[in-house]
Amino acid sequence: RIGADPQRCRVALSGLNVADEVCAVENADNVALSVRSLGEGLVRVNGCVVPEAGQSLQDGDRLAIGRAYIFRLQVPEAGACKDEGMPDDFEHALEEISACAQINPEWENGVQKAMLLVKSDFGDEAANKLLRQAKRASEACEMANGVLQMMPLKLTDGVRRFELSILFNAQGLPEVCVVARRSGEGNCQPVAGIWEVEHFWQDRLPPLFDF
């Protein structure tokens, strides 16, 4: 079992969307592995949420627990994976998660309003592009905030939260961004940084996992 409760789980983790008992991995004679959700937290294989009935695992699959851990699986009797490149493998895992991402309800209303404006001015294709980028940004924020919760304060540079933001340029086209905010009084939360979603996903998000 994998989860946050060290008394009930052989593998104990902590972080965003890591509940007391997240999932159970079963090993059949070192030949076949399978995973099933225990109904709490978030567990994904190759970017997709594990179905209620569970699923089998293949050598080289990526198992994501919550939004702070990604493990590359090796079936003991299946031999070594062909692709041993960890940096590329990690980036590929992030891309898989992005492909299955959904928008956090916290930002859904704002994204829908922006989509209506974009659809009215630029058509369906531009609106659909905005939606894809917003899903990507939402997932990036969830993952970054999960890592931030576990990071020592001295390494955060005062950043307390990452948020999705949609900005419009001079031509009226939207730019989906990730904003880092420091703690402040009331609604005053100073901006520590702002990145276009692709730049954040490719260049800023992976290093967060190396703290």
> What DSSP character marks residue 46?
T
Largest Cα separation within the chain, whole Å, is 62
Q: What is the pLDDT of residue 74?
A: 84
135's tokens:
């899903």
Q: What is the pLDDT of residue 87?
A: 44
- Global model pTM greater than 0.85: no
pLDDT of the chain, 211 residues: tens digit per residue: 898 999 999 999 887 778 899 999 998 888 888 999 998 778 889 888 898 889 999 888 889 888 778 888 887 776 555 455 444 566 666 666 666 677 888 888 999 999 999 999 899 999 989 998 998 899 899 888 888 888 888 888 889 999 999 998 888 888 999 999 998 766 677 899 999 999 998 899 888 877 6
- Distance in Å from the first CA to the final CA of the chain: 26
Q: What is the pLDDT of residue 166?
A: 93
* Residue 122 zone, left/alpha/beta (φ > 0; ψ -120 to 50; rest): alpha
